[in-house]
Each structure stands twice: as C-alpha cells, then as structure tokens.
Structure 1
Amino acid sequence: MSAVTEPGTGPDTGLRGRAGVPSPAAGPGGTGAQPGGRAAGLWRRRSLRFRLTAAASAVLAVALAVSAYVMIGVLGNALITTIDESIYQRARDTVSLADAGRLPDQMTSPDGTLLQVLDATGRITHATPGTDRLVPLLDGPARAAVIGAGRARFLDGKPYGIPHLLRVRVLSADHGRTVVAARPFSEVQTSLATAGHVLLIGTPLLLVLLAGASWMIIGRTLRPIAALRRGAEEITDTARSRRLPVPEARDEVHSLATTLNAMLARLEKADSRQRALVSDAAHELRSPLASIRLQLEVALGHPGGQDWQETAEGVLEDTMRLSRLAEDLLALARLDERGGRPARREPVELDRLVPQAVERYGGGVTVKVPDGPVTVAGDALDLGRVLVNLVDNALRHTCAPVRVELRAEGADAVLTVTDDGPGIPEPDRERVFDRFTRLDSARSRDEGGAGLGLAIVRETVHAHGGAVHLEDAAPGLRAVVRLPLS
C-alpha cells in the first residue's frame, strides 16, 4: 500500500530554499536575481545618449500608434457618414417621387445606390438594376426596426446575390409604402485598407527617421557636456589655471560650465592660498629654529665660557616666537575650517569685554566706552582676540598711550584703536591685512610679529558680519572695526 503524499509535503519539499539548494524562483546561481533587475542594470549601463534616444523613440512609437489608430477611426467614421448621407439623400428623392406618383418603370442610380420600393403588402414594385426584384433586402420587422432607429445599418449582401457588405437605410412613403436604399461598403473597406497599409509601412519608417533625428539632435545637445569632460581631463596639477569650455548657448550646460569654472577658480584660489600659507609658515619657522640651533651649538661647543642664563633666555625668546606663530596658525586654520562663520553666536557685551581685554596693558592703553550697553552677536573669545591683536600692533609703533574707544553708531558697534606712530602709507593699508604681510619697518624690529595678527582680525570680523579698515589719525593710525548690533 503506497503512502499518500499531500501537495507540498513531498520528500524534497523541505530541501528547497535550504543552503546549497536553490529555489525554483531563484535566478542563475541561486542568487534570487530577477530578470527585471538585470534589465534595469543593463539599461543603467547604457550611455545617456542611447537612453534618451530610446525613451524618445518609445514615446514617439506610442504617439504614432495612437495617432494611426485615431486616424483610421476618424477616417472610417467620416466615410460611413458620407455613405449614410448619400443613401439617405437617394432614399429621400425616391420617397418624393413615390409620393408624387412619378416613379419611372426603370429606376436608375448613377452613384451605384441600390433602391427597392415596396408597397404596403411588402411586394417590390420598383427596383434599380442589380437588385433582387422578388426578395426585399430587409423583411418587415427588420424594416420597421431600421425606420424606428432612424439610421442606417450593416447588411450582408451575399444571401441576396450581392458579394459585398451593404449599408442599408429605410424610409417610409405615403400609402404604407417603404423605400429601401443600400450601398456597397466595399469602397470604404478598400479606402481603410489602403490607409492602413500606408500607415503600416510609413509609421515604422517615420519612427526610424525620427529616432535617427533624435540621435543626432541629442548627440549635438550633449556635445558641450563631452567638451566639459575633455576639458576636465586636461586639468591637472600642472595646469590648474585652465578652465572648462563654456558653450555659446545660454542654456543649462552654459550655467553648469560657468558654475564649474567658478568652483575651479575658488579651488585654485584656496590651493594657492594654502600653498602660500605653507611656504610662508615654513619661512617664518626657519628663523627661530635656526636661532635656537645656533645658540645651542655654541653653548655645547664652548660650555666653559658660555653664559647659560643668557643662552636660556635667548632660546626661551625664540620658543615664545614659535608658540605665538603656532597659535596664530591654529587660529587661522580654525577660521578656515568654519568657512567664515564664528565658533558660536551668543550675546557679547562689548562695553564690558573691551575694558576687561585691555586691563592687562595698564597705563599703556586708555579706554572710552559708552554708559549704555553695546551688544553684538558672536564669540567673546574671538572678539577679544581681535582687540588684543589691534592693541599689540598699535603698541609696537606708538609713543603715547594707545586710545581705545567704543561707541554705537546707527545699527553698528564701532570700535577704534588709535596710536601716534608713523602710520602706514595709504596704498599699503589694505595689503597689511593679508597673511604674512609685514612692512619693512616692522620687519626691522625685533618685536615685530609674523604678519598674521591683522589677517586674523579681518577674517574674524568678517565672520561676525562686520568690516575693518585703517585710516589716518593725524598723527598716527586708527583701526576701525564695525560690527552689527544684535
């Protein structure tokens, strides 16, 4: 007696889907990949020109097919309407003749319309040549149905010896008579078949022509993008100043090329700035390192006659220069990293911050602040560093105390730092805000900085939405900082 196994519970059912035994639904290799996924991947790997052309051709094919279908339908309806009007007119003329008693014994129809005139008993009294004179095209109930519908209908002519499909219309006349008018539908069928053959052959040819035109037009449209790609390949480390070609047409590709060129200009500027920073930093680091090395070599070479206290003081001074340079570089790096934004935005009371920042200078700095609060939004530490850098720079060139003044002017807080030193020539007043820029007088002084103080001031002020400039104080120089009030 054989065991009865229910569907889905056979011996191999539990093996399907287990490790090592691919399921029937799984794709090649048992990975479960579906053909649709492979087709999508193949489509994505095609070129943009091919995909655009294929998509445009598919849309054109659908549009042409729908247009052909609609055209055949409209043409068929128009031809049927024409035949219906023709047979209706012929039937009306025949009814008029019958009512007037002027029907000829031998009826003729120049346009090929078949006519039958039936009396009240259904007997054919008059008929055109080619029409059966004994059997009506429609029996009594059918004639009544056509008359009630008020429109023509189709009729197979083969049972009546007419090898065509007919379009039949029936009208009533006086004395219970009826007029049956029919016309072969073969001419319409021939016209529709001819139009269908033309569309069947012409539509694919038109589709191929349009696809070829789309391929060429899309290729010409994508040519500027190919030029952009070639231009991008030519930009290397040794040709950073090159730019991508910009097409003449004011289209999306033109906007893309312009945007990319602007990006390249910013990158080139940032790269040049970074290279200059590294070069200048290396130059500034070399001097104190060389001084430290020289002092230590001399001290170690002549330990007996060396004043170690003096050597230690010299090494400490150079180390402090290195420490200040490292702090300035770190501050600039943080400003660059934040992308021109302050580290935090919180209310900062400048009327309190300014006296606290210059308190350490004692009598070397005089301060004038308003009685009311002057509050801006930003980072207190960064703004304090701005003031300290300006005061340090002024103290290196002044003889009298440096004057620091704070006031509110319109929608801005105005901070000025004034000294009575030799000042800076007007052509150089903007240049001194660049990194590692020092005038000759500053370079000759031992206490001169590395040329980063004013650069930190400008970038910090710009990050807080303000502006800074230098102006003549007659005598001396005045640094003016404007920050928007919160």
Structure 2
Amino acid sequence: MPADRMAWWRRRSLRFRLTVTASAVLTLGLAVSAYVFVAVLGRALLTSIDDEVYQRAREVVALSDAGRLPDPVLTPDNTIIQVLGPDGRIVNATPNTDRLVPLLSPGECAAAVRAGTARVLDGRPYGIPWPLRVRVLDADGGRTVIAARSSDEVESSLGTTGRVLLLGVPLLLALLAAASWLIIGRTLRPITLLRRGAADISGTARSRRLPVPQSRDEVHALATTLNDMLGRLEEADARQRALVSDAAHELRSPLASIRLQLEVALSHPGGQDWQETAEGVMEDVLRLSRLAEDLLALARLDEGRPCRRDPVDLAALAARIAERYGIAADIASPVTVPGDELDLGRVLANLLDNAVRHASSTVSVAVWRSSGSGAGRDTAELTVTDDGPGIPPRDRERVFDRFTRLDDARSRDDGGAGLGLAIVRTTVRAHGGTVHLEDAAPGLRAVIRLPLAAPLNCR
C-alpha cells in the first residue's frame, strides 16, 4: 500500500532519507547522462564514417573522371568501392566486394544520388554481419560510384562504452552514496549533539546550555537560538521561584498573626476581648486578600497575553479615582489612550495607595497631553505627587522589583507586600508606556507616559 510505504519512509532516519534521495537523484542524472553520451557518441562515430565514405567516393570520382581509375580499386581502409557503368554493370571494384552484384540497383542509386546523404544497407546478404553506410555519387560518362563501409567499428565502440558504463556507473554510485552517507552524517552530527545535550538537561538542571558548533551555519544559528531560549526559560524559572518564595514569606506573617491571635483567644476564652480579636484577624485576612489579588494580577500579566486596546479616557478615569480618595486632581479632559480601563485603574489606585500612605499632608493627581518633540509622538502623561519623605535616587528603580520594600515601609503596620509598584510597571509596559519616579521637592512624584489613541477618521 502507498500509505504503508510512506509511513515506512517517514520512520527512517533523516540521514537515511537524504542519502537515498541523493543517490536516487544521482542515479537518474547518471542514467540520463550515459544515455545522452552513448547517443551523441554513436551519432559522432556514424558521422565520421559517413564523412570518410564520402571522401573515398569523391576520390574515386576524381580518378574516374581523369581516366586514371585502377582496377581493382585500392583504398587505405576497408571502404568498399563499386563503379557501375551506364548499363548498371560493375566495371571497377575493390577486392573486398562482389564484382557481379551491385550493392544497390540502378533505381536505388538514382534515389541515393538525389538524396545526397548516406543510407543504411543490410550487409548480411553480402557476407558482412554489420550494417553498411553507403554513399552514391555520379561520375562522368554515365558512371556511378558506390562507396560503402561497415559500421562494425561503431558497434564495437558503443559496446565497449556500454560495458564500461555498466561497470563504472554502479561503482560510481556506490562511491557517491558512501560519500553522501559520510558527509550527511558529519553535517547532522551537530544536530545529534544538540539532541543529546537537550536530553541531558533535566527539570532541575541549572545554567545548562546546548553545544554550539564552530561553523557559522544554520545549525549554529539554531543552537544559539535554543540557548537564548534556555536562558529566557531559566530567567523565567528564577523569577517564578523567587515569586513563590517571596509569596510564601509574605503569607507567613499574616497567617502566623491569625494563628497566634486565635490560639491566645482559645487559651483564655473568658478574659479575651473577642471583638478586638475579630478585628485583628479581619485585618490580617484583608492583607491576605490584597496579597492574593496582587499575585493573581502579576500572574495574568506574566502570561504575556496582549491587553485590551479599548479607548480609555485617562483624564476621566483619574478624576473618578481621585474623587474616591478625596484628592485634588488637575485634569485636562479628555485624554484618550488605548488600553484596559480596569488595569489602568489598578495602576492609579496602587500609586495613590502608596502616596496616601507616605504623604505628610498633600497628594495630587494630574493628567495632560504632552507634545512630542522632533519625531516623537504625542503622549498622555499622568503624575501622582505626595509631600512625604520621598525615596533616595539609588532606590527609585529598585522599588519596582517584586516584594521590594524599603526599611521605613517595612516598619509600618499598614505597609503592603511590595507588589504595588511592580504591578504598576508591568501594566504600564504592557500598554506600551513608561513609568519612573522623580523628586518633587519635597516628596516624590510618579510619572507615567502612555501613547495616545489614534484619532478616528470621521470622513
């Protein structure tokens, strides 16, 4: 069955399939080349015989016209010569031919003269086992010169050539197949090393890389790309492990607090203020809830799925959230950006939570359209400013890392888990924007820049 043969073929190794395919193509090419070579060689040999026969016929015609034709006619090769008189009888001939029976009848001679080309004649009736190449020319006095030569030389040459090809072509194919097997094997060796290297990498391996061949070819590019991918996977795995470790560390504190409060309450039920215990447990539960929400938000952002690109009025969104916090807002409405309104609202809420937590007295929000200079595009700019102690310049990038809290934040009971600014940066980058912290003298200012939504074509 063709399907079974295709399945068998697909199960073979790539080296085997490439070698067989290359050998088949070479076989076809050599067969066609041998056929063309033999055909061209035979045609060339026959043309050479025809030219020699014609030359001998021309010489005999010249001697006959000059009246110097000997009898018998002598030739330097085995060319057969018959000179017919006007009555069609042989008047001169070479010793190697019949002097009574002409090779061609008068009518056939006339047709051959008109054709002006050589014709093939079966030599067996004349005791010659090979076909004859015959050429006929007219001479003076009504004479006709017939020149013929056996094609045994052509047959012998072609036979020898065929035997050489029958022996040489299979040998050449075997050598080429062996060379192809070795060359393809050496070519695929780096891929084999890549496979073995990949098989050696276990799920718990660290900093493992695939072997990179020295040649600057496609396999080198593949190995480099795979190593880059392994590097990215290691980085993602490291981030994931760090996230799990930090999350477990952050979860221990509220869980330990809840456990301690409940154990104390259960140990002294009579003297326990259950209202106070419930309030303490509720506070820790809210911390756990916020941490779980932040972790879910980071997990969704880490998936790398493209966020929604709905038109969002950033100015109106900032005004609503600032009003919820009772904060003054400097809004230049409307400022429309493409994005997800819920994610952008979480960004602003996280920034306001931090600002309110650290501000001395004042927190402000501002949104406006910022004009790009030169080839830069216009952007939407959002700032959240507080008059708190601020952050030292050396720590303004570090605070965007996950579970990063400065010492003063750790000492506060209402401090977060250190995920708020990490969510802010990840979300803003997913929307194609940037975020950074700068000095507000006094205090700190968070600055977010987002690309504006493309204007609608109302024509």
Sort the TM-score into its range (normalised by shorter chain): over 0.9
Mapped partners of 1:209, 1:258: distance in 2: 35
Tell me the alpha carbon deviations over residues 389-447 of structure 1, each in whole angstroms, 9 at most, x when there is no partner.
01111112111311211111122101111122222222222221111111111111111
Query: TM-score w.r.t. structure 1 length?
Result: 0.89
Decide which of 385, 389, 399 is 1:432's aligned counterpart.
399
Among candidates 330, 340, 349, match of residue 388 of structure 1: 349
* Distance in 2 separating the partners of 1:422 and 1:401: 12
Q: What corresponds to 1:265 in structure 2?
A: 231
Q: 1:346 aligns with which of 286, 307, 310?
A: 310
AA in 2 matched with 1:104: P
Other-structure match for 1:455:
422
CA displacement 1:127-158 (0-9 Å, x = unmatched): 11211111111111221222222211211222
Query: Does the CA contact (< 8 Å) of 1:340 and 1:462 recur in 2?
Result: no
CA–CA distance in 2 between the matches of 1:345 and 1:466? Answer: 13
2:379 matches 1:408: no
1:176–1:427 Cα change, 3 Å: farther
In 1, Cα distance between the equivalents of 2:139 and 2:235? 99
- Where does residue 271 of structure 2 map in the other structure? 305
User: How much does 1:319 deviate?
Assistant: 0.9
- The offset of 1:458, in angstroms, is 0.7
Identity %: 70
Give yes or no for contact 1:461–1:483 (8 Å, CA) kept in 2.
yes
1:40-189 residue pairs with structure 2 within 5 A? 40-189=6-155
Query: Does the 8 A contact of 1:340 with 1:459 survive in 2?
Result: no
Across the aligned residues of Structure 1 and Structure 2, the Cα RMSD in angstroms comes to 1.3
The amino acid across from 1:101 in the alignment is G
> Shift of the alpha carbon at 1:340?
4.9
AA in 2 matched with 1:347: P
Q: Which runs of 5+ in 2 are unaligned?
A: 372-377, 454-459
> Does the alignment pair 1:369 with 2:335?
no
Deviation string 1:43-88 (CA, Å, 9 cap, x unpaired) is 2221111111111111111111111111100100010111111111
Look up the SS of the partner of 2:344 in the other structure.
helix
Which residue among 437, 458, 464 is the counterpart of 2:431?
464
Q: In structure 2, what is the Cα distance between the partners aligned to 1:472 and 1:247?
A: 51
Deviation at 1:474, TM superposition (A): 2.3
Residue by residue over 1:215-267, the C-alpha shift from the partner in whole angstroms, topping out at 9 and shown as x without a partner, is: 00000010000000110011112323101111122222112112211221222
* Residue aligned with 2:88, SS: coil
Deviations 1:87-138 (A, max 9, x none): 1111112222222322223321102211111112111111112111111111
What is the distance in 1 between the residues matched to 2:221 and 2:430? 29
Deviation track 1:250-300 (CA, whole Å, cap 9, x = no partner) reads 222112112211221222111111111111111111100110111111111
Give the Å deviation of 1:317: 0.8
Q: Is the 8 A contact 1:406 1:416 kept in 2?
A: yes
Aligned residues: 447
Distance across 2 between alignment mates of 1:98 and 1:162: 27
Greater Cα offset, 314-323 or 171-180? 171-180
SS state at 1:396 partner: helix
Structure 2 distance, partners of 1:346, 1:38, is 53
State the TM-score, normalized to the length of structure 2.
0.95
Counterpart of 1:220 in structure 2 is 186
Gap runs ≥5 in structure 1: 1-33
CA distance in 1, matches of 2:39, 2:393: 86
Q: Distance in 2 between matches of 1:430 and 1:459?
A: 13
Q: Deviations over 1:319-339 (max 9, x none)?
A: 1101111111111122123x1
Counterpart residue identity of residue 399, structure 1: S
Answer yes or no: is 1:419 the counterpart of 2:386.
yes
Match of 2:261 in 1: 295
Q: Please, which of 152, 155, 166 is the counterpart of residue 200 of structure 1? A: 166
Letter in 2 for 1:341: P
Q: Which residue of 1 aligns with 2:221?
A: 255
Give the whole-Å Cα distance in 2 for the aligned partners of 1:466 and 1:340.
16
How many angstroms does 1:368 deviate by? 0.8
Q: Deviations over 1:320-370 (max 9, x none)?
A: 101111111111122123x1521x2211011211100111111xx221111
Distance 1:38 1:61 in 2: 25
